[in-house]
């Protein structure tokens, strides 16, 4: 069983519709990333989609809501990795988070077209895993 630190997570009784809305919000951001050619936009919306998909995953997997406090993206990415049993989520998700933070707080970063496409494709793969996971949970 996965343990959720109460400093970062709270139990919340989500409806199935709320989980669907969270996931659709993530998918909308992924569509924006896909349709945009600017590497910075593709990267930013891919990261947003990853975080929003993580919110949907935890809501649907265990009625858990992440608290909006410093460090919550790190913890959210960590739990996504645990729930889906995929270490690449923690590794790549944290690389994306660190790059996004450097862009916000260190005066910007360069994001190449290749890098933004790689992050987009990673996020797309994770969203597909989350959709499958939630469908399988619903079927039980």
Query: Tokens standing for 57?
Result: 């995953």
Task: Provide the pLDDT for residue 108.
Answer: 87
Q: How far is CA 70 from the centre of its chain?
A: 16
Residues 13, 10: Cα–Cα separation, whole Å: 10
The pTM for the full model equals 0.95
| Diameter of the chain measured on Cα atoms | 48
φ, ψ of residue 65 to 5 degrees: the values are -120, 135
Task: Provide the pLDDT for residue 129.
Answer: 97
Neighbours of 13 (CB within 10 A): 8
Question: pLDDT tens, 82-99?
Answer: 999 999 999 999 999 999
Do residues 83 and 2 touch, judged by C-beta distance below 8 A?
yes
Task: Provide the pLDDT for residue 119.
Answer: 98
Domains and their CATH numbers in the chain: 9-139 (1.20.120)
- For residue 56, name the pLDDT band (cuts at 50, 70, 90): very high
């Amino acid at each position: 069983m996965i343990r959720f630190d109460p400093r970062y997570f709270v139990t919340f009784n989500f409806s199935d519709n709320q989980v669907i809305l969270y996931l659709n919000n993530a998918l909308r951001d992924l569509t924006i990333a896909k349709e945009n050619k600017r590497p910075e936009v593709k990267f930013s919306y891919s990261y947003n989609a990853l975080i929003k998909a993580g919110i949907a995953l935890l809501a649907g997997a265990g009625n858990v809501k992440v608290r909006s406090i410093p460090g919550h993206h790190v913890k959210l990415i960590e739990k996504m990795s645990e729930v889906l049993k995929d270490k690449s989520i923690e590794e790549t998700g944290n690389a994306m988070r660190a790059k996004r933070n450097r862009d916000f707080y260190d005066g910007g970063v360069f994001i190449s077209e290749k890098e933004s496409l790689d992050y987009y494709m990673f996020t797309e793969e994770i969203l597909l895993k989350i959709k499958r996971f939630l469908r399988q949970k619903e079927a039980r």
